[in-house]
A and B are shown apart, each in its own frame.
Chain A
Amino acid sequence: MNIETKNKTKEATQQTIKITGSEAIIRCLIAEGVDILYGYPGGAIMPVYDELYKFRDQIHHVLTRHEQGATHAAQGYARISGRVGVAMATSGPGATNLITGIADAQIDSTPLVCITGQVSSHLLGSDAFQETDIVGISTPVTKWNHQVTKASEIPEVIAKAFYIAKSGRPGPVLIDITKDAQFEEFDFSYKKCTGIRSYNPIPNIDIKLVEAAAELINNAKKPMIVWGQGIILGKAEDELKAVIEKAGIPAAWTILGASALPTSHPLNIGMVGMHGNYAPNKLTNECDVLIAIGMRFDDRVTGNLNTYAKQAKIIHFEIDPAEVDKNVKTDVAVLGDSKESLAALLPLLETKSHTAWLQEFKALYDIEFEKVIKDDLHPTKEGLTMGEVLNQINIETKGNAAIVSDVGQHQMIACRYSNFNITKSNITSGGLGTMGFALPAAIGAKMAAPQREVVAIIGDGGYQMTIQELGTIFQQKVPVKIVVLNNEFLGMVRQWQQLFFDKRYASTEMTNPDFVTIAKGYYIEAKRVKKREELADAVKEMIACKEAYFLEVCVEKEDNVFPMIPSGASVSDIRLS
Chain B
Amino acid sequence: MHLQNRVWQSQSYLFCNIFSLLSFIKMDEQIKTFTISVYTENNIGLLNRISAIFQRRHINIESLTTSQSEIESVNRFVIVVNITEAQAKKIVKQIEKQVEAIRAYYHTDEETIYTESCMFKIKSVLLFEEPQIQNIIKDSNSQIVTVNKEFFVLEKSGRRHEIESLRRDLNVFGIMQFVRSGRISVTKSEMKITEMLKAFNNQ
Contacts and interface: CB of A to CB of B under 8 A. Distances in A.
A135 B44 CA distance: 10
A150 B48 CA distance: 22
Interface in A114-141: 135-136, 139-140
Given A139-B49, A140-B52, A198 B93 contact: no
Given A321-B97, A322-B93, A198 B45 contact: no
Given A139-B48, A139-B49, A198 B94 contact: no
A144 B99 contact: yes
Contacts of B40: 198
A322 B99 contact: no
Contact of A198 (B52, B89, B101): B101
Interface residues of A, number: 21
A139 B45 contact: yes
Interface residues of B, number: 22
B50 to A, nearest CB: 10
Given A139-B52, A147-B44, A322 B97 contact: yes
B100 interface: yes
B200 interface: yes
If over half of A's interface residues share one DSSP class (helix, strand or loop), that class is named, otherwise mixed; here it is mixed
Given A197-B102, A198-B100, A326 B45 contact: no
A139 B50 CA distance: 10
Contacts of B161: none
Given A198-B41, A320-B97, A326 B90 contact: yes
A325 B56 CA distance: 19
B90 A136 contact: no
Nearest to B44: A147
A296 B56 CA distance: 19
B45 A145 contact: yes
Interface string B14-28: 000000000000000
A326 B87 CA distance: 9
A195 interface: yes
A146 B45 CA distance: 8
9 A-B pairs with the lowest CB-CB distances in the bound complex, closest first = A322-B93, A197-B200, A198-B102, A144-B99, A199-B99, A322-B97, A140-B52, A198-B100, A139-B48
Interface of B: 40-41, 44-45, 48-49, 52, 56, 89-90, 93-94, 96-97, 99-102, 197, 200-201, 203
Interface of A: 135-136, 139-140, 143-147, 164, 195-199, 320-322, 324-326
10 contacts: A136-B45, A136-B48, A139-B48, A144-B99, A146-B45, A199-B100, A320-B97, A322-B93, A322-B96, A322-B97
Given A198-B99, A199-B100, 5 more contacts: A139-B52, A140-B56, A195-B203, A196-B99, A322-B94
